[in-house]
């Protein structure tokens, strides 16, 4: 097997030989007593590995080409939606000479909003069709546009299968942060990273791309750092088995100092007599203690139960909710105090009484361990009762003259639909608008059959695009119909 030294022809050769593996006999299909002589010779020579490895390279190249084609197609569709928004948001009202905007906006402002809404609706439609999140759809379109404009060499290599999706995304991410009016820095970055994008693994390429970007950027790092500091943020990600990951994005110097403090105190605790926790466990406990109390418990006792206390409603099966103060760990002095923070938790009554094992649910996360749920419920200082049928204190319907959603009804909607009901959205109901499926101005009532949580972004898309929500009045089933006539059932509650 000879391979060309030309990168592009080499890629084509490997892609062509990606089917070779199909002609290699599977050793499991051979007679174990009388193995095929040719197969035995192939395996003993090592040639079978070469054939399979080259074929696998070819499959990877073909897969990269298909992924790059998807990036290009997504970008084209979103650009087309912005250029021609009518299929997504309806006819342009500003073309009517008698048109007057009720919000006193200019035609240019209305057209800009139409382009924006059309792009959002198109992204939502594609996310359903491709099984990707809207942020991934918009991200891929943005990366494709950035690479085509600022890194044409990396883009060409990506389209040919020579650059992985991870490396293409890294190149786009860094190129997008270069000045919008400095084409020289774009070209310098593209020239410097093309070969590295082809040959380096994603981890090494991220380091290379970041260093190259720092070198070619025309602005001084002090100016860029001051601007980047405005983007600092914190977010939490749910993990299996009642765990979560807390992430912080901020100035490197401060975070390195914070980590060093955590590490120093963890190592100090590790040196104490009878300490059994690992260094990784100690770092986690120290960081959590510092965030909760501003101090670290220096005894050898494990730092346990460091979560905040909770409140939440009874669910339709007879669950309960309480508002409980945050508590101290068993080893903490009585004088120590934590800020009172409330979170929502749904606890099945039989589990609460010790007669069942149905897990409790932490809103925004999912199932949590029974011991923690019972303790939090026991510390609750107040309760709210909500059932699926009308009971004292629970409002499922109100008079047509009332537009405002009562608190009890809002709480019930948060139990029925814990997150935004737009396809794929996980924004918590408490952070959403309560949308009238049939608009109030067109006779929609304020009732649970006509209400549901929608995040601000999807509320705008539903109101101003051809994305439509339907409900079967007999079964209660709900579904969306996208502007391209795709019917999408409302996702079931995630927890």
- For the chain, give every domain's residue range: 60-226, 233-293, 319-378, 407-489
pLDDT of residue 24 exceeding 80, the answer is: no
The answer to whether 460 and 477 have CB atoms below 8 angstroms apart is: no
Query: What mean pLDDT do residues 273-280 have?
Result: 93
pLDDT, position 305: 34
pLDDT, position 407: 77
The answer to whether 338 and 327 have CB atoms below 8 angstroms apart is: yes
Q: What is the pLDDT of residues 175-228, one digit of tens each?
A: 999 999 999 999 999 999 999 999 999 999 999 999 999 999 998 888 888 888
Kindly state the percentage of the chain with pLDDT values over 90.
49
Total length of the chain: 495
Residue 243 bridge partners (DSSP): 239
Query: What mean pLDDT do residues 28-45 have?
Result: 54
What contacts 338, CB < 8 A, 6 or more positions away?
292, 293, 308, 326, 327, 328
Distance CA 62, CA 65 (A): 5
Alpha helix locations (H) across 219-318?
221-229, 252-270, 279-293
Distance CA 175, CA 186 (A): 7
Count CB atoms within 10 A of the CB of residue 11: 22
Query: What mean pLDDT do residues 259-267 have?
Result: 92
Q: 18: pLDDT confidence band, cut at 50, 70 and 90?
A: low
The pLDDT mean for the chain works out to 79
Query: What mean pLDDT do residues 276-292 have?
Result: 93
Q: 331: pLDDT confidence band, cut at 50, 70 and 90?
A: very low
Q: What is the pLDDT of residues 335-368, one digit of tens each?
A: 344 444 455 566 666 666 677 777 777 665 667 7
Count CB atoms within 10 A of the CB of residue 105: 13
Count CB atoms within 10 A of the CB of residue 164: 20
pLDDT, position 402: 59
Distance CA 174, CA 185 (A): 11
Q: Which of 178-187, 232-241, 321-330 has the lowest mean pLDDT?
A: 321-330
- E strands, 309-441, where? 319-320, 345-348, 360-362, 366-368, 433-436
Give SS3 for 288.
helix
pLDDT, position 323: 36
Q: Which of 227-241, 292-306, 341-355, 406-420 has the lowest mean pLDDT?
A: 292-306
**Type and span of the H or E element at 172:** helix 165-175
Q: How far is CA 28 from CA 36, 39, 279, in A?
A: 11, 11, 46
User: According to the per-residue pLDDT averaged within each range, which of 59-68, 293-302, 441-450 is highest?
Assistant: 59-68
In the 8-state DSSP scheme, what is residue 366?
Answer: E
User: According to the per-residue pLDDT averaged within each range, which of 12-16, 113-117, 221-225 is highest?
Assistant: 113-117
Residue 360 bridge partners (DSSP): 368
- Scored b (16 or more CB within 10 A) or e, 242-260 reads eeeeeeeeeeeeeeeeeee
pLDDT, position 479: 96
**How far is C-alpha 241 from the geometric centre of its chain's CA atoms?**
19
Give SS3 for 395.
coil
Q: 38: pLDDT confidence band, cut at 50, 70 and 90?
A: low
Q: What is the pLDDT of residues 411-438, one digit of tens each?
A: 888 888 999 999 999 898 989 999 999 8
The answer to whether 132 and 126 have CB atoms below 8 angstroms apart is: yes
Query: What mean pLDDT do residues 472-490 have?
Result: 92
Q: What is the pLDDT of residues 39-75, one digit of tens each?
A: 555 556 666 677 778 888 889 999 999 999 999 999 9
pLDDT, position 446: 81
The answer to whether 337 and 292 have CB atoms below 8 angstroms apart is: no
Distance CA 246, CA 185 (A): 35
Alpha helix locations (H) across 151-220?
152-159, 165-175, 183-199, 202-216
Distance CA 129, CA 68 (A): 18
Q: Which of 80, 78, 113, 96 is nearest to 464 (CA)?
A: 113
More confident residue, 198 or 301: 198
Place of tokens 């101005």: 441
Q: pTM to 2 decimals?
A: 0.68
Q: 327: pLDDT confidence band, cut at 50, 70 and 90?
A: very low
What contacts 392, CB < 8 A, 6 or more positions away?
none
Count CB atoms within 10 A of the CB of residue 133: 15
Q: 404: pLDDT confidence band, cut at 50, 70 and 90?
A: confident
pLDDT of residue 17 exceeding 60, the answer is: no
The answer to whether 413 and 429 have CB atoms below 8 angstroms apart is: yes
pLDDT, position 351: 67
């Amino acid at each position: 097997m000879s391979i060309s030294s030309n990168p592009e022809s080499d890629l084509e050769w490997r892609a062509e030989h990606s089917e070779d593996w199909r002609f290699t006999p599977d050793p499991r299909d051979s007679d174990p007593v009388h193995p095929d002589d040719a197969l035995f010779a192939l395996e003993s020579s090592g040639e079978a590995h070469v054939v399979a490895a080259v074929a696998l390279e070819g499959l990877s190249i073909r897969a990269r080409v298909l992924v790059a084609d998807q990036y290009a197609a997504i970008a084209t569709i979103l650009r087309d939606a912005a250029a021609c928004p009518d299929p997504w948001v309806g006819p342009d009202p500003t073309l009517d000479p008698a048109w007057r905007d009720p919000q006193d906006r200019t035609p240019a402002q209305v057209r800009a909003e139409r382009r924006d809404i059309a792009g959002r609706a198109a992204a939502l439609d594609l996310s359903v069709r491709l099984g990707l999140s809207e942020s991934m759809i918009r991200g891929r379109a943005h990366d494709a546009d950035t690479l085509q404009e600022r890194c044409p060499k990396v883009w060409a290599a990506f389209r040919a299968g020579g650059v992985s999706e991870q490396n293409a995304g890294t190149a786009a991410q860094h190129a997008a942060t270069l000045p919008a009016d400095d084409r020289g820095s774009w070209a310098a970055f593209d020239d410097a990273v093309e070969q590295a994008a082809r040959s380096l693994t994603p981890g090494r390429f991220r380091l290379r791309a970041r260093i190259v970007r720092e070198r070619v950027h025309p602005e001084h790092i002090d100016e860029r750092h001051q601007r980047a500091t405005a983007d600092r943020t914190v977010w939490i990600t749910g993990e299996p088995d009642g765990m979560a990951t807390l992430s912080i994005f901020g100035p490197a110097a401060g975070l390195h100092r914070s980590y060093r403090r955590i590490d120093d105190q963890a190592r100090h605790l590790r040196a104490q007599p009878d300490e059994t926790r690992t260094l990784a466990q100690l770092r986690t406990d120290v960081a959590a203690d510092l965030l909760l109390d501003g101090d670290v418990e220096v005894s050898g006792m494990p730092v346990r139960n460091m979560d905040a206390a909770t409140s939440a409603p009874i669910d339709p099966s007879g669950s309960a909710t309480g508002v409980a103060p945050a508590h101290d760990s068993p080893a903490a002095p009585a004088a120590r105090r934590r800020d009172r923070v409330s979170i929502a938790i749904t606890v099945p009554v039989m589990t609460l009484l010790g007669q069942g094992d149905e897990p409790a649910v932490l809103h925004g996360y999912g199932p949590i361990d029974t011991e923690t749920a019972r303790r939090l419920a026991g510390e609750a200082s107040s309760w709210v009762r909500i059932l699926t049928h009308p009971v004292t204190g629970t409002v499922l319907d109100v008079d047509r003259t009332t537009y405002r959603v009562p608190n009890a009804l809002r709480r019930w909607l948060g139990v029925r639909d814990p997150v935004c009901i737009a396809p794929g959205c996980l924004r918590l109901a408490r952070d959403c608008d309560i949308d009238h499926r049939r608009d109030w101005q067109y006779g929609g009532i304020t009732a649970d059959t006509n209400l549901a949580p929608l995040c601000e972004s999807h509320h705008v898309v539903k109101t101003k695009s051809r994305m439509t929500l339907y409900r079967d009045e007999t079964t209660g089933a709900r579904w969306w119909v996208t502007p391209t006539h795709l019917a999408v059932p409302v996702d079931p509650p995630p927890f």
